[in-house]
Structures are given as C-alpha cells and as structure tokens.
Structure 1
Amino acid sequence: MSSFASDNYSGAAPEILAAIAAANVGHQVSYGRDEYTERLQGVFRAHFGDTARAYPVINGTGANVIALQAATDRWGAVICAGTAHITVDEGGAPEKVAGLKLLPVPTTHGKLTVDDIAREAWGFDDEHRARPQVVSLSQSTELGTVYTAAEIRAIADVAHGHGMRVHLDGARLANAAAHLGEPLRAFTTDAGVDILSFGGTKNGMLLGEAVVVLDPELDRGLDRLRKSSMQLVSKMRFVSAQFLALLDGDLWLRNAGHANAMATRLADRMRDLPGVEISHPVQANAVFVRLPEAALAELHGRFAFYDWPTGPARWMTSFDTTPDDVDQLAGAARAAVTSIRHSNREQGLAMARRKVTRAGG
C-alpha cells in the first residue's frame, strides 16, 4: 500500500543509516559529550548564526515542550494558531509538563498574522490572566503553508514590542526553506525568532529533533530542562551523527525539495478535476483536498491517508515518495471521481425519464 498519511511513515534515508553505522564504532562519552555532538554545534551555527546552540532530543513534542519552558515563566501563556501541533496533537503536553497556558487563535490557512496575535496580546499585568509571553509559529504550518521572512519579522517585531518571545515549531523547517529558496537563518535568526524546534524525523532521519536556541538569554538552564523533561539521550552520538549527515551538506534540502515537488505534482494532477477542491495553498509537502465521500471511501481501500477534522483529506509526501506513487494516487482519484460523476449523471437521467413517463401517462 502506498502511503500518503504522513512523512513519519517513511523510512530513514540511506545516508542516515550509513551515518549511524559509521558512528557505531568504539566508545564515546555519553550524554552529549561525544565528538559528534561537539561537531554538530558548528554545523548548526553555520545554518543559524554564531549565537545558535543546539540541544538534540528524542522527539518533536519534547523539543517544543523544552523550548516553551525556556521562554516562559510558570504563569506564562503562549499564543498559537488554532491548528498548531502544540495545541492539537501533543496530548496537552505543553500545558501538563511545561505548566503554561495555550491561547489558540483561529487563522486563515494555519498562519498567524499580526492582527490574529492582537486578539490575545493583552492583560500582561492582569493577575487574573496567564501572561502572554510567547508567540509560537509552525513553519511550515500544519496546513502545508509557509511564512515568508517578512511575515515572521512583522510578527516578531510585534511580539518583542510586547516583551514576548517568538518560538518556531520547525518540524518541517527544511520544507519551508526549500519552498522559499532561502537559507534557514533568513526566516529564523534574521527574522527575529528566539528559539525553535528543528525537525529531522520527517525529513529522513531515523529519530531525533533538536532545540535550537538563537537568543543566548534563553539558554540558561536548558540542559537541565532537557534532562527533567526526559529528553536527554544517553547515546547521543547516534542522534548527532544523523544531524551531521543531514545538515553538513545538502541532504536536508534535497530531501525536503523532493517532498515538496511531489506534493506540487499531486496537486497539479487534481486541480482541473470538476468537483475537487484544493483547500489550502500547496507550498510544502502537504495537499489538502476535498473529494466526494464515495471517492474518498474507494481511495481508502488502496492508499493510506488521513481525513482531516476540518473536512478535507490530507495527502502528505516525503523524501522517498516517487513520481509513480503520485501518479497512481492521482489516477485513482480521477477515476473514482469520474465514475461517481458518471453514475450520478445516469441516475439523474433515469429520474428525468421516469418523470416524463409519469407526466405522459
């Protein structure tokens, strides 16, 4: 079965597996004091600037929880999109583990705007309200859209003007870079982002993400936050070696660019089909498509994908999605929709004939 359910469904890139095997030689000091993790700092600084410091962790929820803890007090709140992973898909972990309050805001296509933020950026000195301290953005968003550097800069200026920090959930940050055609720092460090979660698992790694601190003021105690959040990897060399393989070269960009291209290919093959709607701009590796219910039911028998809570189906592509995979899904979808339209037309003609017959009788 071809899978378009999630880029988490994919395996690991061959280069990543080779890096793990190469790191599996001899002994290294544990808990991040190995040579791979030391080298990794220079690689992250090359991408994000001289002040950047990376903390490898196990998974994306852990990275987000640690980053938000670093940027908030115990009475703090985080403004985010209503579709944000931190409020929809993390089982309440930011609130339960970090002890903060999430303030989700309805958005268009999953992207916060300055006006959206203004709806919750108030009550900073009201003891009856959790104090907004962070604006959290997803890049790319959960709906497959991408913020430009200018959009992030505008949000950061407003957030910093209120004394708030900017966190970026970058589970698919590489896909955003591939879409924008810009270096990672252009829409993070240079745009005013203070701290981010950097994703590796969705872009070809076996496991592992990283908390990347861009503002050194947020680095105080982050190593202890990582430990107390149960995200300190003992044999960290195997996570860091993967990041080195991904980032010390262009593998990260090739993988993400391919995934994006496959999503664009898939959307292009569906756009001219009557009765089919692409619900959100296709800017990364996600296609949200509305199809007749009968067509969706038929496709579920052949392909893995999710029906999104807001209505459309979500088709995700990954670094190992092939053009043939895309064409099979698109062809099956077109055939299902065409068959249903033909069947509905025949039923309509049959009903019309029966009405004429009754009228003539």
Structure 2
Amino acid sequence: MKKTFASDNYSGVHPEVMEALLKANTGHAASYGADEYTERAIAQFKVYFGNDIEVFFAYNGTGANVLGLSALSRSFNSIICSDLAHINVDESTAPEKFLGSKLITIPTKDGKIYPEEIQNKIQRVDDQHHPQANVISISQSTEYGTVYTIDEVKAIADVAKKNNLFFHMDGSRISNAAVSLGKDFASFTRDAGVDVLSFGGTKNGMMFGEAIIFFKPEPARYFKYIRKQGMQLHSKMRFISAQFEVLLSNDLWKRNASHSNRMAKLLEKELRSASVKITRPVDANGIFAILPSAIIPKLQKEHYFYVWDEKTFEVRLMCSFDTTEEEIKSFGATLRKLLK
C-alpha cells in the first residue's frame, strides 16, 4: 500500500526505532517490566518530567486512556470532555464499559473545551441521584489538530482544582503539540496542573506502545493491578520500552514531530493555492478542509484520506514522520487537475 494522508497510524516504524527493537531482540530479558530496557526508558521520561513521577507502559491509546481514567474515576462519577474527544468518539464504548462512568460532553468548534463551559457541567454536587463529576479530560493536540496554549491548560487546571476534580490529558499526539508550542513537555502538562497523561508513541514513529504518566502518587497507588486487570501488561515489556528509550533519546520525538508538522504546513499551502477552504487552524500535523464532493473519490484513489463530515464534505488529511515533500506536491497537482 502506498503512503496516504489517512492517518499517522498508517505510517511505518522509524528506522531508529526498528533498530532498537532488533537490538532488544538479542538474548533473554526479564519479563513484565523487570528489565534494563524498561528501567532506562522510565529514566528517560524522568529527564523530561521529573524524578517523582510514576510511569507505566501499555499497548495502545485506548488502553492508556481507559486505564489512566480508571485510576481516577469510579462508577458513580462522570468525566467531562469535548464531544469530539477520542474517549467519546473513537474508543467504541470502552470508557463506559470498563469504568462504568458517564461521559459528559461539551460541543466544540475548535476541538477545545473552555473553563466556563466546564464549570457549567459541574452540577448537583454531592447529590446521590446525579453522576458526580470527578475528571476533566482534554486531548493535546485536539482531534481537530488544534493545540491548547499553556495558559489554556492552566485555566482548565484551575477549574479542576477549584472543584476538587482530576485533570487528565490524552497526549496521543503530544510530541506534535510540544513542537507546535515550542515548549518542553512538562510546561504544558505537569507544570500546568495535569494529573495524569497518556503519552503517545505509536503516531510518532513507534510500532506500538503508549505510556501512562502520573504526576501525583496517590492515583498511581494501585495502578499496577489496574493495568493487569485491563489486559495491558506486556509480558515482553522490553519491546515497548526499547522504543520509548530511543524515541526520547537524541530528540527523535522532536525530529519526527517537527517533520510531520512541517509537512502539514506545506500541505496547507498546496490546498490554499488551489483555493480550497481550510476549516481549522493548522497547529500540528492535521489539516481539515472542504472539498467538492464530486472529486473526493477520485482524489482518494490517488492519495487516500478520510471524510471527516459526510454532510459538509469536510476532510481530514494527516501527515506523518515519513511524509515527503514530493508526496505533498503530487497531492497538490492531482487536486488542481481534478478542480479544473
């Protein structure tokens, strides 16, 4: 299958990550995270986030989100998120099934949720007849490819603190957000008031693997049992850990995310040059645009992508660490030809 603009999940594995996997495949290593690769990977996370964090690895993003939220929420609680949140739209009903909690959604036009909207959803506190809000969850970058500023994250954290709620961040594309902001990871997570972070690796050059990071000790107290119950404890943990070790070393995470973000800006330029309407700010590695319905199937045959909104023909185009300028130019040329 030729490369597409469908998703950064479609991309392959970065060569440096593949090399790390091959090296980890030499000899035997202790299982379930009691290995030197896991020790070194956790040490790398502590370089970025501080020594007093707790880090756990999981297979995939849904597992990381659901398990992270499991440490924060009980079955009588509710979780406040945007109506586009991955936990609401793209994880089937995994959060509801495994948490038993209710998702309270806020309609969003830019992928973000804001303090006043969140406060309005915190209702009937201590009322036994009503689900009790206990967690605010945001995505960084958002499902629309927008990025919360540090001040925006801090403002949400203030609402969480005021109302004694936990603050969870889905960071499946956190590296793209960090590059967009030009800031270190801690500045818009731990230092901004986030309690639990899902740190994504798969969308940024890894084969598989996500990390759940706790910035406070109490929610992590029983997490090793929660992860086991949630079927996300990898017996050969070194094959997740070795990937994170190399991703966080020598700025590979930044090189990959910088490239995919830059490719998105080039693709935006191609679309604008063809007088295509861009519907969302291009903050990270995703572009949203309106295309004439008649050309979409023809364009998809050459450069596959997803239709985000079938009513408005808004499409989503995602760039990856391995997207090339030639592919961007080819897309632009095909688009202009079809628009004639």
3-state DSSP of counterpart to 2:191:
coil
Distance 2:100 2:48 in 1: 31
Please say which of residues 308-317 and 250-259 is displaced more in the overlay.
308-317
Indicate the residue corresponding to 2:161 in structure 1.
160
Match 1:324 to one of 323, 326, 329: 326
The one-letter code matched in structure 1 to 2:93 is G
1:228 aligns with 2:229: yes
Shift of 1:272: 3.9
Residue by residue over 1:53-76, the C-alpha shift from the partner in whole angstroms, topping out at 9 and shown as x without a partner, is 210100000000011011112211
Shift of 1:129: 1.3
Distance 2:172 2:57 in 1: 13
Alignment of 1:14-29 (within 5 A): 14-29=15-30
The one-letter code matched in structure 1 to 2:337 is A
TM norm structure 1: 0.91
Distance 2:288 2:241 in 1: 33
Work out whether residues 74 and 99 of structure 2, in 8 Å CA contact, stay in contact via their aligned partners in 1.
no
Distance 1:245 1:2 in 2: 24
Please say which of residues 90-99 and 120-129 is displaced more in the overlay.
120-129
1:298 aligns with 2:298: yes
What do you get for the CA RMSD once the two structures are aligned? Answer: 1.1
Distance 1:318 1:192 in 2: 29
Shift of 1:25: 1.4
The one-letter code matched in structure 1 to 2:248 is L
Distance 1:248 1:124 in 2: 45
Indicate the residue corresponding to 1:205 in structure 2.
206
Work out whether residues 3 and 11 of structure 2, in 8 Å CA contact, stay in contact via their aligned partners in 1.
no
Alignment of 1:236-251 (within 5 A): 236-251=237-252
Q: Which has the larger radius of gyration?
A: 1
Residue by residue over 1:149-198, the C-alpha shift from the partner in whole angstroms, topping out at 9 and shown as x without a partner, is 11000100111110101100000000000101100000000000000101
Shift of 1:248: 2.1
1:284 aligns with 2:291: no
The one-letter code matched in structure 2 to 1:295 is I
Distance 1:303 1:248 in 2: 33
Tell me, which stretches of 5 or more residues in structure 1 are unaligned?
A: 340-361
Distance 1:8 1:277 in 2: 25
Indicate the residue corresponding to 1:74 in structure 2.
75
3-state DSSP of counterpart to 1:190:
helix
Distance 2:331 2:137 in 1: 34
Residue by residue over 1:2-61, the C-alpha shift from the partner in whole angstroms, topping out at 9 and shown as x without a partner, is 300000000000000100111111211100111111122211111112222210100000
Shift of 1:215: 1.4
Please say which of residues 45-54 and 148-157 is displaced more in the overlay.
45-54
Distance 1:167 1:37 in 2: 24
Distance 2:220 2:3 in 1: 42
Shift of 1:309: 2.9
3-state DSSP of counterpart to 1:107:
coil
TM norm structure 2: 0.97
Distance 2:316 2:45 in 1: 32
Moved over 3 A (4+): none
3-state DSSP of counterpart to 2:336:
helix
How many residue pairs were aligned?
Answer: 337
The one-letter code matched in structure 1 to 2:322 is D
Work out whether residues 208 and 239 of structure 1, in 8 Å CA contact, stay in contact via their aligned partners in 2.
yes
Work out whether residues 169 and 196 of structure 2, in 8 Å CA contact, stay in contact via their aligned partners in 1.
yes
Alignment of 1:270-281 (within 5 A): 270-274=271-275, 276-281=276-281
The one-letter code matched in structure 2 to 1:330 is G
Residue by residue over 1:229-282, the C-alpha shift from the partner in whole angstroms, topping out at 9 and shown as x without a partner, is 0000000001000000100220001000100000010001212433x2101000
Distance 1:260 1:214 in 2: 28
The one-letter code matched in structure 2 to 1:43 is Q
Indicate the residue corresponding to 1:254 in structure 2.
255
Indicate the residue corresponding to 2:106 in structure 1.
105
Indicate the residue corresponding to 1:336 in structure 2.
338
3-state DSSP of counterpart to 1:207:
coil
